[in-house]
Structure 1
């Protein structure tokens, strides 16, 4: 992407700040537009889950629909991102967002009243997920164009990561508020509106001026391959997803085994999110001397150590403290993986690079969730926490030995 930007205003300062990121020309408008569109991803999962459950009266059907929706959205993301790199965001993101939003409206109509066919819902969800615009990778590619100072870019990526996490926390709350006034399908419609309006504002930002097709961009066939140099961040992201995927289930089992009220579960998981947000902001504020490829294994090792220490927790407060410590490593590790992917990505392939890392996180999460479901109840809970930590440790080692 090319952008009509002026030199970074703080590139010469010794310690560029988060405020300096937002002072970059057009950064605030572009970032706000991207966040409003990405909020759709924070609301859509819960809205679709509740809508399908209400329409079919079957948790099995809703689980299957969510599985195909997530799979088509995640595993086809590198292909959609390659289209953005090849033809530019203005020519690709808005058509994707429009089609995705129309299909969400179809899904909302199908689930507005009980009696929908699970097969029809599953097919509709799969097609809808296949059209989901890669807004996160696209925004990170825009940050790389807007910010040329690597120190400031790290702050931009950290701020982006923390904001994205907050969207996934606030999205379900928005759906919960909407349920007071309408059926769950209304949340699906809200997701469609957020997506199309936010994407429209995003692609019409002055930053996007002049973007378009440039020769030599990746083809659809090459989009299915892992680009050279991305093995380390992709392996690290997959390990991060594997390690964290079972946290919700493990915390729920922890509360059940000790006869705690279910209300403690959100607070314990909230400690993980709060730690991640704090770690992300701290990661962007610190002036690191070590390069991203050297920091990434240490962050994963810290995550693994904290998750393993959770096995020693004897009450909700100690478990929350252990998960908060684990969270401190989560956002920095993911941000560092994205930075490393940006450093190693070929010219004109930044969106695809970010999409591969995003896909790796979600693939690791899917596999880890299934594994956690099989292991909880068959192994002591402490052993499950240790295994989760071991996944992060294995990813740390892999990030060191993987070819550059």
Structure 2
């Protein structure tokens, strides 16, 4: 059986993956850094929250568009210019917010810079998954590579805020924004210089247009299930974060929420690495349905937790299915996409996940004060169960036809 070491021993895999991780560490540092810098400069938490929301919204919504540019022109011609502009905008944001504590820096200025920076965020995750598909023609090895990629990315999102915490202990918050700019620029350039061939979309005129039209017609059908699953997982995760806060507060242990969420991340890491190590005989689509169903059941059961310790254990169990669900969704998207549209396909899955997280947080924010907490946990589990049912129905329909 292939090992994770075999994935990294593949020629150019370690250097390419390392470059991508260096750039993606910026995604773990930038959000908190932006929020702290905006708060420090404007003196307003509302302004900071608005700037961060604008940054996140434009980054998520335009992700498939940026990924399509990478598919069309390749990393060197599309990804590097994005990173340069993105890093420049972050640097301007850092300069604008530097040495102006509470000075009332214009909210319009901060918002405009946040929107522009978010619009230029380089799609490093989708690009790396496209490169993985080039590096790993064997589907079992690709599954392992995606699992490793997903777990590493989750660890970076945990490590990023810790790095910002260290930075702001010795420097002002703007330093975190500047470091984020440097990380993404260096990582993106190194990734773009990778010798791994990238399947750039070619062809123009009537023949090229016809091929693109065929791809466009087939893409929504093939991507519907993985995108729906990613959105469902996102809704569950966004809701669970808020429910963990509400639960620990009602137990008069608000500080324990960090441990509950850490248990979720740990479970996801263990589940992802274990999932990638198994050579599955079942097809990816029915497997995705079963994973989503298991996630839904685990989340509903978490509502029965009598104390914080039990909730942490339940969160760890639920986490076991998070990374496998996302890994399978990315695998299905890769299979469904044309070779020269893989980056955009992965970006759609990623966009659905992030949109689901935001939607789940907003929905539970409305419900948590009006419904019993157990019922809120059940409702948070519903998206995963619905995704499982829809995926199974679609697979059965496909087999009949």
* TM, length-normalised to structure 1: 0.92
- Aligned partner of residue 242 in structure 1, secondary structure: helix
Structure 1 counterpart of 2:202: 214
Q: Which residue of 272, 277, 281 maps to 2:264? A: 272
Q: Following the alignment from structure 1 to structure 2, what is the Cα–Cα distance between the partners of residues 283 and 270?
A: 20
Q: Aligned residue pairs: how many?
A: 387
Q: Following the alignment from structure 1 to structure 2, what is the Cα–Cα distance between the partners of residues 55 and 391?
A: 39
Q: Which residue of 236, 244, 249 maps to 2:229? A: 236
Instruction: State whether structure 2 residue 142 is matched by structure 1 residue 153.
Output: yes
Structure 2 counterpart of 1:3: none
Q: C-alpha displacement at 1:213, in angstroms?
A: 5.3
Structure 2 counterpart of 1:20: 6
Q: Following the alignment from structure 1 to structure 2, what is the Cα–Cα distance between the partners of residues 86 and 310?
A: 45
Divergent runs of 4+, >3 A: 210-213, 216-220, 222-228
Q: C-alpha displacement at 1:226, in angstroms?
A: 5.9
Structure 1 counterpart of 2:25: 39
Q: 1:211 to 1:251 in 2, by over 3 A?
A: closer
Instruction: State whether structure 2 residue 73 is matched by structure 1 residue 80.
Output: no
Q: C-alpha displacement at 1:264, in angstroms?
A: 1.0
Q: C-alpha displacement at 1:55, in angstroms?
A: 1.6
CA shift digits 1:31-59 (9 cap, x unpaired) = 00000000000100111111111222222
More divergent stretch after superposition (80-89 vs 199-208):
199-208
More divergent stretch after superposition (86-95 vs 324-333):
86-95
Q: Following the alignment from structure 1 to structure 2, what is the Cα–Cα distance between the partners of residues 306 and 99?
A: 43
| 1:1-400 mapped onto 2 (5 Å cutoff) | 15-112=1-98, 113=100, 114=102, 115-208=104-197, 212=200, 214-215=202-203, 216=208, 227-260=220-253, 262-400=254-392
Q: Following the alignment from structure 2 to structure 1, what is the Cα–Cα distance between the partners of residues 241 and 220?
A: 33
Q: Following the alignment from structure 1 to structure 2, what is the Cα–Cα distance between the partners of residues 153 and 176?
A: 35
Q: Following the alignment from structure 2 to structure 1, what is the Cα–Cα distance between the partners of residues 112 and 356?
A: 24
Q: Following the alignment from structure 1 to structure 2, what is the Cα–Cα distance between the partners of residues 397 and 315?
A: 31
Q: C-alpha displacement at 1:211, in angstroms?
A: 6.2
Q: C-alpha displacement at 1:371, in angstroms?
A: 0.6
Q: Following the alignment from structure 2 to structure 1, what is the Cα–Cα distance between the partners of residues 356 and 201?
A: 33
2:10–2:135 CA contact under 8 A, matched in 1: yes
Q: Following the alignment from structure 1 to structure 2, what is the Cα–Cα distance between the partners of residues 225 and 62?
A: 41
2:230–2:349 CA contact under 8 A, matched in 1: yes
1:227–1:353 CA contact under 8 A, matched in 2: no
Q: What 5-or-longer segments of structure 1 have no aligned partner?
A: 1-14
1:82–1:223 CA contact under 8 A, matched in 2: no
Going by fraction, where is helix more abundant, 1 or 2? Answer: 2
Q: Following the alignment from structure 1 to structure 2, what is the Cα–Cα distance between the partners of residues 148 and 223?
A: 24
Q: Following the alignment from structure 2 to structure 1, what is the Cα–Cα distance between the partners of residues 349 and 236?
A: 15
Q: Following the alignment from structure 1 to structure 2, what is the Cα–Cα distance between the partners of residues 274 and 224?
A: 39
Q: Following the alignment from structure 1 to structure 2, what is the Cα–Cα distance between the partners of residues 235 and 87?
A: 28
Q: C-alpha displacement at 1:248, in angstroms?
A: 2.0
Q: Following the alignment from structure 1 to structure 2, what is the Cα–Cα distance between the partners of residues 225 and 171?
A: 38
* TM, length-normalised to structure 2: 0.93
Q: Following the alignment from structure 2 to structure 1, what is the Cα–Cα distance between the partners of residues 76 and 159?
A: 28
